[in-house]
Amino acid sequence: MRHQKLRGKLGANPSHRKAKLRNLLTALLKHERIQTTQTKAKQLKRFADPIISLGKRADLHAKRLVRQTVFERDAFQKLFEVYGPRFKNRNGGFTRIYHLGNRKGDGAALSLIEILPDPSKEKEPRIIKTRKPKTEEEQLEAEKKAKSKKEAKKEDKHNQKSEVRAKQESRKARQAEDVIHSHKSQGRKTDLGTGRSKGTKKGLS
């Protein structure tokens, strides 16, 4: 049975593991979100939540306990000045983890761990306005407009097709005229219907 078995050794001895989590916690307090592997993110969540709960107390004893883990001044001040008032009315769950998939190369599972934002600065829910039901007259007008739009589209398509056909016919006529002109210059007879030169029988001069 797996009683009292340590999870998430992170491939390090106890002192190295504690230093690694301390560095991750300092980066998280300074930047409010960091990207790391899934195992480190889960261990960091267990390590960071008690420290943030000490930041809510803001007394001398809590500051001395935090000073044993957080060494940088910026992260230490931000813990008591920003995160303490932010989570004044919250009892736990100060961080959350997003899974980002696997990393290229070694295929390690990546995660994004972040400190929850200030609830007072969160966006208000969007209010969707509902339209009033249309009357019979408005419905008839809308149907007429839709029909007129459809008819206008049909007319535009018909005009476009007629323009394309006219261009094709004019192009064919020009090609036929060019062929006739070239054959006349060479002394050949051409068929006016097809624009092709008429062949001559052998033996005829």
Domain boundaries, the chain: 14-117, 136-197
Secondary structure (3-state) at 39: helix
> pLDDT band at 204, cuts 50/70/90?
very low
More confident residue, 45 or 141: 45
Q: What's the fold here for domain 14-117?
A: 50s Ribosomal Protein L17; Chain: A, (3.90.1030)
Q: For position 147, what pLDDT does the model report?
A: 84
pLDDT over 80 (residue 8): no
> Please, which residues have CB within 8 angstroms of residue 37's CB and are 6 or more apart in sequence?
103, 108, 109, 110, 111
Residues 167-179, mean pLDDT to the nearest whole number: 85
pLDDT over 90 percentage in the chain: 43
- Closest listed residue to residue 48, CA positions, set 61, 32, 35, 60: 32
Is 115 buried (19+), middle (13-18) or exposed (0-12) by CB count in 10 A? buried
pLDDT over 90 (residue 121): no
Q: What DSSP state is assigned to residue 197?
A: B
Global pTM reads: 0.56
Q: For position 203, what pLDDT does the model report?
A: 45
By mean pLDDT, which of 5-14, 124-133, 143-152, 180-189 is the weakest? 124-133
Mean pLDDT across the chain, nearest whole number? Answer: 83
For 62-120, the pLDDT digits (tens) are 999 999 999 999 999 999 999 999 998 888 899 999 999 999 989 999 999 999 998 77
What is the number of residues in the chain? Answer: 205
Kindly state the tokens that stand for 156: 């535009």
> Please, which residues have CB within 8 angstroms of residue 97's CB and are 6 or more apart in sequence?
38, 41, 42, 45, 111, 112, 113
By mean pLDDT, which of 81-90, 95-104, 174-183, 190-199 is the weakest? 190-199
pLDDT over 60 (residue 53): yes
Q: For position 205, what pLDDT does the model report?
A: 41
